[in-house]
Amino acid sequence: MPPPQQQQQQQPPRQLTISTTDLGSLIPPQDKLLVFRALTGIDSIPALTTLQHYRRTAPNIGIYTRVVKAEHSAGRRYRFFSVLINVCLGIQIVVAAALTALGAASGPHSAVTAFGAINTIMAGVLTYLKGSGLPDRLKHYQNEWRNIREYIEQRERELCLSGCELDIQEEIQIIEYMYEGVKREIDQTKSTENRAAPREGGPNRRRFYPQHRPQQQQQQQPRSPHPSEPYVVERVRSPAPTEG
């Protein structure tokens, strides 16, 4: 009988099996609508929701879902602070009327002091909220998130048309640039020091979608990644004919 050390050496090494991704679960690049939905997070595929090795710590929900949640959150906070400001203004009116009545009737000093303290607190709350730009700032954020959501939804409808010539690579870059711009604006507003300057220029991102265009289509001028800054096309006038 061989010793235990020799038995361990004779055992074959254990092989680790790795589950690979099935090609049938991936998106074909020819289906522009499905590619756009997957990249923006409107729709998902089994390759993202099903894991073979380990449990996912956070779901990959995509830009579209994050934008919708941020829009709803900004709307709820806007309504809350609007109600809070109106309540504070109403309390100030009631307290001012009570102080006027107490002063005219020579009321007790303790009541006058209490109402004066309440009025000071309400004035401080209103000053802080107005100084922070609330609730108008939240309404602005809600409009910005809504613009991104409407842009994504409109591009999705255009891709439903047969023979749509939209460039998926370009559209995803525009959406990501708009999304990062709103996030940067929110971060700069929350930060009180070392605010980063806004990024200049268009998005800088590697290509992820294979493109096969003819030479004539490649020579066409691309759209600007800034929706508010279109490209300027210079027109060259032909020289006037000379009289012979």
CB atoms within 10 A of CB 145: 23
For each of the chain's 244 residues, which pLDDT tens digit applies?
A: 555 555 555 665 566 566 777 777 788 889 999 999 999 999 887 777 776 667 778 888 999 999 999 999 999 999 999 999 999 999 999 999 999 998 888 888 899 999 999 999 999 999 999 999 999 999 999 999 999 999 999 999 999 999 999 999 999 999 999 999 999 999 998 875 344 444 555 555 556 555 554 444 444 444 555 545 544 444 444 455 555 4
CB atoms within 10 A of CB 127: 10
Which uninterrupted H or E stretch holds 32?
helix 32-40
Tokens of 219: 């020579």
Name the pTM for this structure.
0.71
Which uninterrupted H or E stretch holds 218?
helix 215-218
| Burial of 20: CB neighbours in 10 Å, binned 0-12, 13-18, 19+ | exposed
Q: Which of 145, 162, 159, 176 is nearest to 35 (CA)?
A: 159
Which uninterrupted H or E stretch holds 73?
helix 62-104
Ranges of H-type helices in 105-214: 109-131, 136-159, 168-190
Give the per-residue pLDDT at 182.
96
Longest dimension (CA), the chain: 115
DSSP 3-state assignment of 6?
Answer: helix
| Burial of 234: CB neighbours in 10 Å, binned 0-12, 13-18, 19+ | exposed
